[in-house]
Amino acid sequence: VQLQASGGGLVHPGGSLRLSCLASGRIVNINYMGWFRQAPGKQRELVADIESSGKRNYGDSVKGRFAISRDNAKKTAYLQMSDLKPEDTAVYYCNFYIDPNGRSVYVPYWGKGTQVTVSS
């Protein structure tokens, strides 16, 4: 199983980006999809996550600006980021909990990360 994150880049303050994370390989089900970020010198923190039920959870600093969604058929999670601020600059990682063999045992997988830089 591999997770491939994409969509990062350089954007001006107030701008928008959409990140995608695609899972590939032996996958029967995905129950949890999350986005985390890590800025230099800081701990990795939750940005947003979404459960298979559709329930969403957001970090306090991104509420009202970011939106997470998922497409189960495409095995993809999205993070729409709006009104970006310099403090949003970080490497963004996706994290899925995947059942690879239909036994309802979910294993966490991480993508390699995509850089988001917000600067004028």
pLDDT band at 93 (very low <50, low <70, confident <90, very high): very high
CB 52 within 8 A of CB 69: no
Please give the pLDDT value at position 3.
98
Confidence band, pLDDT 50/70/90 cuts, at residue 14: very high
Residue 93: closest CA among 30, 55, 43: 43
pLDDT, tens digit, 9 for 90 and up, residues 17-76: 999 999 999 999 999 999 999 999 999 999 999 999 999 999 999 999 999 999 999 999
Question: What's the pLDDT at 15?
Answer: 98
CA–CA distances in Å: residue 36 to residues 41, 44, 73, 82: 15, 6, 22, 16
Tell me whether strands 107-110 and 66-71 are parallel, antiparallel or unpaired.
unpaired
| pLDDT value for 106 | 96
Q: Give the pLDDT of residue 99.
A: 96
Q: Report the distance separating Cα 65 and Cα 63, nearest Å.
A: 5
The predicted structure's pLDDT at residue 29: 95
